Every structure is written in structure tokens, then in C-alpha cells.
Amino acid sequence: MCGIVGYVGRAKAAPILLDGLRRLEYRGYDSAGLAVVNGRHELQTRKCAGRIAALAKLMVKKPVSGSFGVSHTRWATHGKVTNENAHPHFDASGKLALVHNGVIENYQTLREELISGGDTNFRSETDTEVLAHLIGKLYDESCATTVDTPQKKAHMLEAVRAALQRVIGTYGIALIHSDVPEFMIGARRGSPLVLGVGKGENFLASDVSAIVAYTRDAVYLNDFDVVAVDREKFEISSLAGETGDHQVSKVEFTAEDIKKGDYAHYMLKEIFEQPGTVRDAMRGRLSPEECTARLGGLNMTPPQLRDVGRIILTGCGTALHAGRVGEYLIEALANIPTEVEYASEFRHRNTPLTRETLVFTISQSGETADTLGALRESRRKGFRTLGICNNVASTIARESDGGVYMHAGPEIGVAATKSFTSQVVILTLIGLLFGRMRTLSTAEGSRIIESLEALPEQIETVLKLSDQIKEIAKKYADVTGMLFFGRQFNFPIALEGALKMKEITYLFAEGHPSAELKHGIIALIRPDLPSVFIAPDDGVFSKNLNNIEQVKARKGPVIALTSGNGASQLKTLANEIVTLPEAPDCVMPVLSVIPLQLLAYHLAVELRRDVDKPRNLAKSVTVE
């Protein structure tokens, strides 16, 4: 969601801050700004509603100088999208600048207290400004007679701790003060913040991708950490002032990994990376000799795995749809009752959980607020809770009891693509592991492994259909919406296809089980509303065929994804046929989702949408 970049060092701060913000554009935002302190201890601020390009133009007209500062891209929560509501925000003196991700739930109470104490100099509608005023007030009260810089730093740190102890809500913050040179403070609770460690310079960022061009040494802060940073050193402590050890990690990817290369959009690049990312999701995890999967990261012994009697899969958006595929996979392969829960609902309802329940939380970023909340609720109740995520240093990875990393590399496009197929592959491995410990024979396990090993090459075959799908997109560029249908393993793919269409084309789209067509949905069928059917040549193909005939009888256009002999049987029914490689039911979802990713992409391009930065969306949703 919102992005934070902070810098203290010897270089000019503004270009580094701007570059970092550009690297965070994919997170979604509606305004941008920065604050830099110059050599005369003056706080210089530039901010505006709109894109980072607008901020860059403003800075050409009104440049700033200085070697330490903070910057931000805002996704509006409290207050409209205006220049005044853009970050950074300031205290009453105008000397303290603060950027903030998250939500201060008790900001109104704090604001009223500050006003009653005589502080009426509020310039925005945001909750963030209230926090800036509170920290500034506490600092000014404690620092009234202090002139020594080390003492000022200590007072500033204590003011931040004292203010945050009064806060209800979530935050990732970075702040500077013009009277405290070359010094920056960061803190987090529920919203990610990472410290970048350099030589003679240090950084703060909400996402390591913002600073990976400058350093690959990072410390991922925990909830309730407060970090004090200057050029040469940093110190991390708790809100209570206690210090402890924090590991400096190596960032796994480089700045080159987050470039588009020759692709027009990140989304297209990431769609075409899927042969490699699927291969990486399986790398070292298949055992052809034992006909099973090896997932040591689950941190569970064979007896503990055998004792699992129920599985809960929880996530949001695309991760939830991957979980829905996982439900079919695990029940089919392992015969373990499996349920999928919206992470946003899981922790707010009293879901009955039996003692043998195992919970998986699924999140590409490992920072999704609702999914993190579900993880914490599950662990609070004493259930073993595992993570499936892409970021080995994320909060979910660190707080879970174990899990499986996706190894998909950075995903910049807001519309998730390669992370979805990696998640589905990992859930297939989980189903295989549990299945082989129960009823799955060696022959069946071997066949599943063979089909998984064939996937990367089959994905490459599917990607060659991109030009055909592009022509289909052009043909249907004038429609007002689409319906998506699938059965069994491919019903969640219908949901995911509809979500991709909504996310980047802004068209009406719905996904349904094919058999639900006649239970009300058929009323929507008309000549200007295409239906996309995922109908591989499998055990329910004839059922899908019947539903397609019902749509055609009502003059509804049909785009069909099929395999094997399906194309010949659909020749006189479907308006468009996309033929996929033949594959078993358990791996077909990975193949069938890719044409839907491409269909949404090409249609969005045809409609001239901003594919990588779709309106109102954020890549990582770190607030509720």
C-alpha cells in the first residue's frame, strides 16, 4: 500500500528518495511527497496529489538540498486526495516531518486533547498529522533547554516512544527534525518497515525493493521496534527502551530483478516468468524415489503430519483463490477435510477448530494485514500455523510455526500472476505429501511428480498462445463485462480469471461454478456478455458442454479453454477456442489460469488501462 523511503548519509538525499518512491509505485498510491533538511537546518518540503512524476516536476521548479530526509507515497485512508493531505506531515512547530503507513484509530481523541491544550495548527484531515503533533509536543516539552545534539536525539527517541505508547492502531513511520541533524527515527506495528544498512549511509523503507539499488544488507523490524539511525550506526530498541540483537540479512534479489526489461509491463513480464517460477517452487522438493514431496520447512515430524485431521487455508484475493484450488487438491490427494477461510473474516468469527487442525496462511508479500491477523488469531488459540509466502524475511514468515517459501522472485505488477501459480504448485506438493502418508499409492505419487515436472515446458506451450489471445481481446474490447465458469479444480480458476479482469480492465466480471448457470445466472446471458468456460477434456467435460449449449441457445458468445478432444467437440459451439496441453486434473489449474491472465492483460492494454498501476488498488494491503 503506501510507501516509505528515508535516507541519512553523505549523498544528496532528494534523488535517492525520489528513486526509492519510483521503485514503490507498484504498491498503489494517490499522492507523493518528501522532506529534506538542508545545511542551514531548514526543513524543505515538496508534496502534491498525483503521480511521482508530478512531484519530480515540482522539484525541478523548486529544488531541495540536504543529506537526510523522508519521503512517502500515500494511498488515502483518512481525508481526501489533496496536496494538504499528502505526506509528510508536521508538528505544530513545522520542524518535525513524519511519514506514516497504517491507521491511527484513536486519532480523533488525541486530536481533541491536543486542541484543548492549545494546539490548533492542524493543516490536514489525516490521522498522521495528529501523531506528528503529539510527538512534536512531547519533544518540545522535554527539550526546552537542551542544546546538546546527543541529548536532543535521546529526547526525540523518548518522545517517539511515549507517543506510540498512546497510539491505538497500526503504523510504520519514519521521521526527521530540523533541529536534530543527520538523524532519523523509524518504528513499526502492523505495517512493514525495513532498515537498509550501508557504508556511511543508512535507509528506511516500507519495502526492501525501494533501497536494493543502494544496499542489499537489511534488518527487517519487528512489531514494536523503534530504530534510531544516523550515518554510521543504528540502534534498535523496544517501545519500553529495551535493546536486543537483530540480524542483518542479505536481500535475495538485485535491482536488475525488478526491472521490466524488454516487456511493456511488469505484469506481462511476470506472466512470462512462470515456467521458471513454477520450476523454482518445486526445486529440491520432489522425491521421485519415494514418490512424494519433501517440505522440511513445515517443521513437523512424520507423526505430527499423520495426526493432522483437518486443514484450514486462509488468505485474501488471489491467495484465497489459490487456497480454493488447494482445497480440491488436498481433499482429492490426501482425503483430509479442508476448508478455505477469508483471512479478513477468520479472526472475527468463532470458527470451530478441532485439536487436529492445521492452519496455512497464504500471502505473496507475507505482510497482508488481514492474513497476518488470521495467523496471530490461530496461534493465539494454540493451533500450529504455517505460512506460504514469497518473502523469507516477511512478518508472516517470521511469526509462523513453519511453512513453504515460493521462491518466485519480486512480483511488481499489482495483479498477481506468478505468485498464484507458485502457490498452487506448493499446495499440490502439500497434497502429495499428505496423500503419500495416507492412501496415495507409489504409482499415483509417481504420476503426480511426472505431471509436475512436465509443467514448466507445458507453460511455455501455453504462453505461445499469447498472440491468439490478444486477437480475442481485440474482438471483445467493446463488451461491458464477462462471465467465467469452471467446475471442480477449475472453479477457483473462474474466480481468479474474473478477479484479473476486474482488477486491470475495470469491467464487470464474475466467476461461478458452471452448474450454477441455471440457478439464476442464466438471466444475465445476452449477445453482448461473453462467457469464458474453463472446460478441459476431463471427467466433467460433458457437464461443461451442456452448460455451453445453454449459453449458445440464448445467443451468448463463448470463449472456451479446453484440451485433448475438447476442441473438436466445441468446434460448432464456441466462438473462440483456446487449446491447452493435456494434463491431469491436479495440475490443469496452473495451465488454465495463464490464458485468463493473458486475456485480462491484452484487453486492459486494448482499453488503454494502466496495467501495472490499476486505479484504487495496492500491491500489498497492509491496513484493514
Residue 370: which of 624, 169, 619, 618 has the closest Cα?
A: 624
Mean per-residue pLDDT over the chain, rounded: 92
What is the pLDDT, as a whole number, of residue 622?
A: 56
Q: Which amino acid is residue 196, in one-letter code?
A: G
CA 125 to chain centre: 27
Render pLDDT for 356-403 as a digit per residue (tens, 0 to 9).
999 999 999 888 889 999 999 999 999 999 999 998 888 899 899 999
DSSP-assigned beta bridge partners for residue 451: none
What per-residue confidence (pLDDT) applies to 250? 87
Average pLDDT over residues 582-603: 97
Residues 100 and 374: their CA atoms lie apart, in Å, by 24
8 Å CB contact between 285 and 293: yes
Residue with cell 488515502: 76
Among the listed residues 565, 486, 490, the one whose alpha carbon sits nearest the alpha carbon of residue 532: 486
What would the pLDDT profile of 223-278 be if each residue is shown by its tens digit?
A: 999 999 999 999 999 998 888 778 888 887 777 777 888 999 999 999 999 999 99
Statement: residue 113 has pLDDT above 80: yes
In a 3-state reduction of DSSP, which class is residue 315? strand
Q: How far is CA 65 from the centre of its chain?
A: 34
In this prediction, residue 620 has a pLDDT band, given cuts at 50, 70 and 90, of low
Query: For 571-581, what is the mean pLDDT?
Result: 94
Smallest Cα–Cα separation from 200: which of 160, 163, 154, 231? 231
Calculate ∠ Cα 95-97-103, nearest 5°: 140
Rounded to whole angstroms, the Cα distance separating 621 from 372 reads 11
Q: Which domains, ranges and CATH numbers included, belong to the chain?
A: 3-253 (3.60.20.10), 260-463 (3.40.50.10490), 465-607 (3.40.50.10490)
Query: Which grid coordinates belong to 384?
Result: 500450529
Nearest to 88 by CA among 50, 38, 40, 126: 126
DSSP assigned state of 241 = S
pLDDT tens-digit readout, 194-234: 999 999 999 999 989 899 999 999 999 999 999 999 999 99
**Amino acid (1-letter code) at residue 79:** G
- The pTM for the full model equals 0.84
Q: Which of 16-20, 144-148, 565-569 bottoms out in mean pLDDT, i.e. has the lowest?
A: 144-148
Q: Tell me the three cell numbers of residue 194.
A: 525495513
Three-class SS state of 511: strand
Residue type for 281, please?
Answer: A
The residues that are catalytic are 2, 619
Give the Cα separation of 18 and 71 in Å (integer): 8
Confidence of residue 94 (pLDDT cuts 50, 70, 90): very high
Q: Which H/E stretch holds residue 600?
A: helix 588-606
- DSSP type of residue 415: S
Return the minimum-mean-pLDDT range out of 123-127, 156-160, 391-395.
391-395
Q: Would strands 184-189 and 225-229 be described as parallel, antiparallel, or unpaired?
A: antiparallel
pLDDT at residue 623 in the model = 56
- pLDDT in the model for residue 410: 87
Return the amino acid letter for 258. I
Maximum Cα interatomic distance, the chain, rounded to a whole number of Å: 87
* Count of CA atoms in the C-beta half-sphere (13 A) of 615: 7
From residue 74, alpha-carbon distances to 155, 528, 541 in Å are 28, 38, 48
CB atoms within 10 A of CB 468: 15
Q: Which residues are CB-neighbours of 210 under 8 A, at least 6 positions away?
A: 3, 5, 20, 21, 23, 24, 203
